[in-house]
Structure 1
Amino acid sequence: METTTGKPGSLRNILVRLLLFGVLIIVVRFAYVVTITGESCKVVDFCFFSLPETFNFIIAGAGPGASAIAANGALQTTNRSDLYTSKGWIKAVNFYSSVFQDLISEGYLSEGSKSLCVQTPTGQDVHALKQVGVEDSIGIFKKASRPLVIKALPNRVPFDDNTFDFVFSGGGRLDQLSRPLELASEIERTLRPEGFAVVHIEAKDSYSFNSFLELFNSCKLVKSHDIDGLDSLMPYIREIVLKKEIEILGLRGDEKPKPNDDSETKCWVPEHKQELVQNAEPLIMEEPLKPWITLKRNIRNIKYLTSMADISFKNRYVYVDVGARSYGSSIGSWFKKQYPKQNKIFEVYAVEADKAFHEEYSLKKAVRLLPYAAWVRNETLLFEINRDLGKNGNHNRRGMGRIQPSGGGGNNGGDVNMIQGFDFANWLKSTVTERDFVVMKMDVEGTEFDLIPRLFETGAICLIDEIFLECHYNRWQRCCPGQRSSKYEKTYGQCLELFTSLRQSGVLVHQWW
């Protein structure tokens, strides 16, 4: 009697499973290439056939590409020709054709220009260029829409330096990007010297307009004017024409005065920032008898910069809390919850020398702790932890830490430790740039009279867009009517002079509690 081993059947099952697995891989790969990347299927993509260029899936709610198509009136369809004949598409093409015809008549564009359209989901502007005779045109977006638009990320445009005579950014607004500087740098890189870049933006104020210009390092502003928009959602837009210079120009914006011999480290606050200061809430000119009430109520009157101007064209968003104390003291209780951020994500830095608060920050991954004292240079300092006066007049509560005067005098019954101070102004200059949006809160127990002049000396003051400053003086005490604080030598008048000098220099500063 023969015995059946079953080995051929087992081998056959293994081969069938391997074959089915291979087919599954091909199907998944095919689905990814066609429906996710928007590319046509090729042999190198493990596909057995390819789709015609006019075929494309449009998925409702599938990211910015799909929403942009819907916004332009296109119907959800699997036929690209339906998109090209929709009312929304035709309206957009006619709009851009009119724009390009005007640019041709003004000499910024010609039929022979090698042209690039950036952030264009479906390529109406590319089609419009070809319609007015600029045949050598292509568009880029994070999802391809062939044959007009190829796939490219804003920070990685797949073309060589100095490739294009003309670059256009229309419907895909730069202010919607998380890092508009990346695309601005790529526009400059791929644009040839003396070539033109034309950008449509919704510049709501002079601050946002100048923030946009500051994104470009080697382009000169040629023209800026308002034109009618494409639809009621944007009834008018700002058209900006830039020309690439042969030499790098540096940051653009309000025209800056010629530097003097003594201005190497100082900066000049531009006019668009000075306008914000003029619209800020008035300073409290008379010394309050109950500062713990008056200054705290003043917070309601503060006009935040972000309530007066659009910050969308800034490259990064940074909040620096100098003298942060605990996380809940001002970062968690005020900045995270109350400061109007215009839906921007901020990098948060906490500067706090008191070791009692350091462990708490180790649990806050979104906050970078600088466990040192902000100072005018790098050196070891005496640091006193004050004891606040309780209701009975005794020093029985842990107060704010402050740098002691040289010689170690002025101890108010607190603990004195040796700590490391660092040059705060130099740190700021190495951490942020003029293209970043920087908000600062400063509560440093009197050291503001040292730090603010240092920020002016080094020019670091011009890197700060908005300051919330608590100025410490010999104020009236809550515990003891008729008695002033003995911790500080400065007067309210000297604090007022500090605030006034900051505003006169174009710095948006608020009196803080």
Structure 2
Amino acid sequence: MEPTAGKPNFLRNILVKVLLFGVLIIVVRFAYIVTITGESCKLGDFCFSPENLSFVIAGTGAGVSTSNKAVGSTSTGTSQSDLYRSKDWIKAVHFYSDVFHDLVSDGYISAISKTLCVETPRGEDVLALKEIGILDSIGVYKKASKPLVISSKENRLPFDENTFDFIFSGGDRLDKTAQRPLDLTVSEIQRTLKPEGFFVAHVSAKDAYSFNSYLDLFNSCKLIKSRDIEGYDSSMPLIREIVLQKKVGSEIVIRDSDGNSANSCSVPGYKRDLVRNAEALIMEEPLKPWITLKRNIKNVKYLTAMADISFKSRYVYVDVGARSYGSSIGSWFKKQYPKQNRTFDVYAIEADKAFYEEYRVKKGVTLLPYAAWVRNETLRFEINHDPGKEVKEKARGMGRIQPVKPSVSSGSFNGEVNEIEGFDFAEWLKSTVTEKDFVVMKMDVEGTEFDLLPRLFETGAICLVDEIFLECHYNRWQRCCPGQRSSKYEKTYGQCLDLFTSLRDRGVLVHQWW
């Protein structure tokens, strides 16, 4: 009986050894093809590719926050199969695997983390997460690439609030390949990230301005660390890796660089660095300001020539004292200001009703037919010109606003006098733009700059403006009458220079304009 019982055991051992040997042959073959040669798998080869596998990934339906769903492979076509077996794909997966290994070592992600990769067209980062044992991972993009990436065509990600422990954005994708607006994508990342969860991004923010602009987008997160790492191909030889952590239970409050939440604000250091690199101010009063200031335009160092503005939420140009469309919006800003291929929302603030009609047909420009002022009140708008002449831009005098005084009649002024509604410009600015926006301002308000600018500082609205082109009005030498100064303005060139200097000393990038 004993020999009969031992025979099946002997055969079973032989069979197990044969099976183990076969598995070993397959593993060695796979390692040789993928790791050693880097060649693609053929149909006859003993190797695996992602389309032959099924992964366990996060649920895809709206409202799914804790359940998992097994998504099997689908027929993705020859191009998809070729992609999964390409050298570039394998190289990218290896790169992201190394990245995630470091993040695991630093404690930002673990095997039990629920993870999301945003704006990932091919899903290399998703596969890399799964390869290192973080199985509960999924990617989103406008076009699905199952089983790694699901479709997310709407502005809202198909996940509940506080779903993920870890969210990743690689390859500078938030700005370069995102299908939804940058601020909306950031909002969705913060919504779906759990409190104390981590968001890691690879961005091309090299200069201090673009780096801080990126951080400003994430107002519910705090910076944990930032470092430069080498990319996996020549298109991104060096990239910046940023690690953010979502704050717990804190209200989002706009604060200055010193942590104050009051109206007054301090301009951060990275903006002050731009001011130090700006063109020098004209210290000596020009004898022919209409020539000197016009020529000075070629010396202007635009902010957009010194820093990357890619990571701003919105782009806004505010022309205070716009006059006609061709005065500065059409002739200068549209044609000459370096916009880095960004589309700007344009606001024209003009108190002279003679220019209103032409703005009706200008697309992309919002006209505010009021006078920019320090509070909401009715003002006198005085235009010194001959009423008998045809109203043309060059022939029409520059308007100036004055508070309404009941004792002063319109007949006391030799020109055209109208009443216009003035509005609190600083408060309007605070309600229209945010610190996440890129805001350029041109101000030509016939002396009112000495009222408006202090008000911008008082309310903290000055911190919302990135760059100002300011025409300062003083009793300049007149072109028509050599040796005579204009009697229209009481300020001196020295007072204007003090205004420019004080603005720059406080970190505001302001340029002398004409």
AA of the residue aligned to 1:141:
Y
Distance in structure 2 (CA, Å) of the matches to 1:221 and 1:462:
21
Distance in 2 between the 1:320 and 1:409 partners? 33
> Could you tell me which amino acid in structure 2 is paired with residue 369 of structure 1?
L
| 8 Å Cα contact 2:439/2:465 also seen in 1 | yes
Cα distance between partner residues in 2 of 1:435 and 1:124: 31
SS for the counterpart of 2:395 is strand
Change in 2 beyond 3 A, CA 1:248/1:154: farther
Corresponding residue of 2:449: 448
The residue type paired with residue 355 of structure 1 is: K
Residue number in structure 2 paired with 1:288: 286
Deviations 1:203-242 (A, max 9, x none): 1201111111111122111110000012111101000111
How much does 1:248 deviate? Answer: 2.8
Q: 1:312 to 1:251 in 2, by over 3 A?
A: farther
**Structure-2 residue corresponding to 1:352:** 350
TM superposition shift of 1:472: 0.3
Distance 2:379 2:79 in 1: 72
Partner of 1:184: 186
**Which residue identity is paired with 1:117?**
C
Unaligned 5+ segments in structure 1 are 1-51, 58-77, 389-395
Secondary structure class of the residue paired with 1:181: helix
Does residue 108 of the first structure (1) align with residue 108 of the second (2)?
Answer: yes
* Alpha-carbon shift at residue 79 of structure 1 (Å): 4.4
Partner amino acid, structure 1, of 2:352: D
Amino acid aligned to 2:383 = I
Question: Corresponding residue for 1:464?
Answer: 465
Q: Match of 2:164?
A: 164
* Amino acid corresponding to residue 307 of structure 1 in structure 2: A
Task: Give runs of aligned pairs for residues 17-96 of structure 1, distance below 5 A.
Answer: 53-56=73-76, 78-96=78-96
Q: How does 1:71-470 map to 2 (within 5 A)?
A: 78-153=78-153, 155-171=155-171, 173-176=173-176, 177=178, 179-248=181-250, 250=252, 256-259=257-260, 264-387=262-385, 397-404=395-402, 407=405, 413-470=414-471
The aligned amino acid for 2:268 is: P
Larger Rg: 2
Note the C-alpha offset of 1:484: 0.5
1:376/1:422 contact within 8 Å kept: yes
**Structure 1 residue runs of 4+, over 6 Å off?**
409-412
| Superimposed CA distance per residue, residues 242-287 of structure 1 (whole angstroms, 9 cap, x where no aligned partner) | 111212363699x83243xxx7221121111111111110100000
Q: Deviations over 1:159-198 (max 9, x none)?
A: 1111111110002522234631211111111111111111
* 1:492 counterpart = 2:512: no
Q: Could you say what the CA RMSD is over the residues aligned between the two structures, in angstroms?
A: 2.0
Deviation of 1:386 (Å): 2.5
Residue identity matched to 1:99: V
Q: Over residues 71-128 of structure 1, what are the superposed CA-to-partner deviations in whole Å (9 max), with x where a residue is unaligned?
A: xxxxxxx243221110110010010001001111111111111110001001000011
Structure 1 501/367 Cα, relative in aligned 2: closer, same or farther at 3 Å? same
Separation in 1, partners of 2:253, 2:272: 18
Gaps of 5+ in 2: 1-71, 387-393
Look up the match of 1:63.
none
Amino acid across the alignment from 1:100: F
Q: Deviations over 1:269-322 (max 9, x none)?
A: 111111111111010000000000000000100001111111111111110000
Q: Percent identity?
A: 72
CA shift for structure 1 position 406: 6.0
Change (3 A) 1:252 1:210: farther
Distance in structure 2 (CA, Å) of the matches to 1:86 and 1:269? 49
Q: Are the structure 2 counterparts of residues 503 and 123 from structure 1 closer, same or farther at C-alpha, using a change threshold of 3 Å?
A: same
Provide TM-score, normalisation by structure 2. 0.81
When normalised by structure 1's length, the TM-score is 0.81
Query: Matched residue of 2:318: which SS?
Result: strand
